[in-house]
Amino acid sequence: MQEIYIYMDDSGQLTRNNPQQNIFVYGGLYFLSKDESDNFSRQYKSIVNSIKPKYCNDFSNDDKLNEKFCKTHDSTTCSYKCPELKSSKLSSADRRHLLNFIKKYNTSVVVVNNSKLRDYIFENKASIGRFKDYAIKREVKNIIEKLISENKIDPSKQVKIFLNLDQQTTISNGYYDLEHTIKEELQYGIFNYNYGIMYPPILSDVTIKIKYKDSYYSYNIQAADLLVGEIRHKYYHYLLNNDFELYRKRTAFLRNSLYLP
């Protein structure tokens, strides 16, 4: 069985007429085995545990706590509410430390420029939810195409995709099954009626399993959050300064990148 484990989070908002929210990014990391995914999680957790005491209010206010406790305890059974190390809360040094580890693995993003999207996408929450699902589908397909081109998966054999998303409610226009629509495009192809183009299938047999994760307990989702936050910041900086070469240099580590629309 060929298995792919994908972890995604988002950064920014899909919204109109807000200069501070002009860029929306979805993405994260992907692994070619459960062992690789679990190994990343263990090592990333170890790095997080080494730096999280400085962000813990309880650690600062309770003399009975010590740094060794904060680095080694199990957050699932701890009576203290340790903060999740979100991208926006980290110092530059700690963010760099974590990103340098993330860069060793397969990373993927889809970057959306809100100002270039059609107006109907922002009409209601359902339309926004549907576009987010579309972005996820495009990114998953982009990952699979990359793996096929690198001969890391055989498209003629069965593939199982475990898609893990940050906990959220997927809302769309009418019935819209994300698992089904990803499978349909990958295994059966899809016809674009607006342009009269048929996109052929790229896999002969694929199963999609989607799970929504609480990022507080998923270190792989936390890593995805850090990644997309960093890419959004760098792309926003590029738009402000019109320095694409600097952006390209600072994001060269990405294995996959997609820009919409």
Q: pTM for the whole thing? A: 0.88
pLDDT at 69: 62
Q: What is the pLDDT of residue 103?
A: 96
Q: Is residue 23 part of a domain?
A: yes
Instruction: Compute φ and ψ for 188, nearest 5 degrees.
Output: -115, -15
Residue 19: asked if its preceding bond is cis (omega within 30°), the reply is: no
Output the domain CATH number for residue 13: 3.30.420.10
Please report whether residue 209 resides in a domain: yes
Cis-peptide, bond into residue 53, ω within 30° of zero: no
Give the angle 25-28-33 at the CA atoms, nearest 5°.
160
Does residue 64 belong to any structural domain of this protein? no
Domain region containing 144: 2-48+86-260
pLDDT on residue 174:
40
The pLDDT assigned to 63 comes to 61
Length of the chain in residues, anyone?
261
Sheet containing 159-166: which strands, arranged edge to edge?
A: 206-213, 159-166, 2-11, 23-31, 106-113, 256-260
Residue 100 counted as domain residue:
yes
Eight-state DSSP code of residue 83? P
> 127 and 174 in contact (C-beta within 8 Å)?
no
What's the pLDDT score for residue 59? 61
Number of domains in the chain: 1
- Tell whether 166 is covered by a domain: yes
In a domain, 80, yes or no: no
Give the per-residue pLDDT at 172: 46
> Does a structural domain hold residue 55?
no
pLDDT-flagged residues of the chain (< 50)? 169, 171-175
Longest dimension (CA), the chain: 68
Query: Is the distance from CB of 178 to CB of 195 less than 8 angstroms?
Result: no
H or E element in which residue 144 lies:
helix 125-149
Classify residue 53: in a domain, yes or no.
Answer: no
* pLDDT at residue 67, rounded to an integer: 57
Taking alpha carbons only, the member of 12, 222, 24, 260 closest to residue 137 is: 260
